[in-house]
């Protein structure tokens, strides 16, 4: 199935347009990658720190409820910007991503991280103070979310170095 998706993207006209943009708009590839990294930094500086607060490691002078209501909008914005700044490269070189196991790990970690974060943030928005209910369970979910977000970051970087994991002379 991944081969089919790769083939469909590789043969699409959208891909020709994206490659043209990446090659002809001066500096576009590094600009997009810089925007991607800035989005990741903002995500970790807002959502990541909120998880660390729930775990009791950071920002003790503000409650998780305050941090969640303050940073909830940033979750959508940063993921949206990360998606838009990353998708051009996926369309331009689909085989590099769809046939790369590390890109699969990134997607897997991402789905876990986003599902747990959305669950915790939404529950808090619906019922302020809910994070305290069964504190060890909330902390457990936050811990898994933090590990998963770190996994997304490591896998994002390792996509480029997959050859060193699966050496094929």
Residue 37 binding ligand HEM, by CB under 6 A: yes
Return the number of the residue (29 or 128) whose C-beta is nearest ligand HEM.
Answer: 29
Residue 153 binding ligand HEM, by CB under 6 A: yes
Note the residue count of the chain.
169
Selected from 9, 75, 82, 148, the binder of ligand HEM by CB under 6 A is 82
For residue 67 the two structure tokens come to 């941090």
Q: Which stretch of DSSP H or E encloses residue 116?
A: helix 101-126
Residue 35 binding ligand HEM, by CB under 6 A: no
Closest C-alpha among 83, 64, 62, 81 to residue 72: 64
Minimal distance, residue 61 CB to ligand HEM, in Å: 26
Cα–Cα distance between 88 and 51 in angstroms, integer?
30
Residue 79 binding ligand HEM, by CB under 6 A: yes
For residue 142 the two structure tokens come to 């936050």
Return the number of the residue (35 or 55) whose C-beta is nearest ligand HEM.
Answer: 35
Residues contacting 121, CB < 8 A, separation 6+: 68, 72, 75
Q: Which stretch binds ligand HEM (CB under 6 A): 15-23, 36-44, 54-62, 127-135?
A: 36-44
DSSP assignments along 56-97, one per residue:
TSS-TTS-HHHHHHHHHHHHHHHHHHHHHHHHHHHHH-HHHH
| CB of 28 closer than 8 Å to CB of 21 | yes
Q: Which stretch binds ligand HEM (CB under 6 A): 20-28, 59-67, 82-90, 133-141?
A: 82-90
| # of chain residues touching ligand HEM (CB under 6 A) | 21
Selected from 46, 50, 64, 86, the binder of ligand HEM by CB under 6 A is 86
Q: Which positions touch ligand HEM (CB under 6 A)?
A: 33, 36-37, 40, 43, 79, 82-83, 86-87, 89-90, 96, 110, 149, 152-153, 156-157, 159-160
């Amino acid at each position: 199935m991944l081969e089919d998706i790769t083939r469909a993207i590789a043969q699409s006209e959208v891909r020709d347009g994206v490659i043209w943009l990446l090659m002809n708009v001066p500096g576009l590839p590094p600009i997009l990658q810089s925007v991607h990294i800035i989005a990741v930094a903002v995500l970790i500086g807002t959502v990541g720190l909120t998880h660390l607060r729930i775990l009791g490691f950071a920002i003790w002078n503000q409650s998780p409820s305050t941090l969640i209501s303050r940073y909830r909008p940033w979750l959508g914005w940063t993921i949206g910007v990360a998606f838009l700044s990353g998708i051009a490269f996926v369309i331009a070189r689909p085989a590099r991503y769809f046939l790369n196991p590390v890109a699969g790990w990134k997607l897997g970690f991402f789905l876990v991280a986003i599902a747990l974060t959305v669950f915790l943030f939404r529950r808090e928005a619906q019922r302020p103070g809910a994070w305290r209910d069964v504190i060890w369970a909330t902390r457990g979910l936050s811990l898994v979310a933090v590990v998963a977000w770190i996994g997304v970051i490591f896998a994002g970087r390792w996509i480029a170095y997959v050859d060193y994991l699966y050496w094929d002379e």
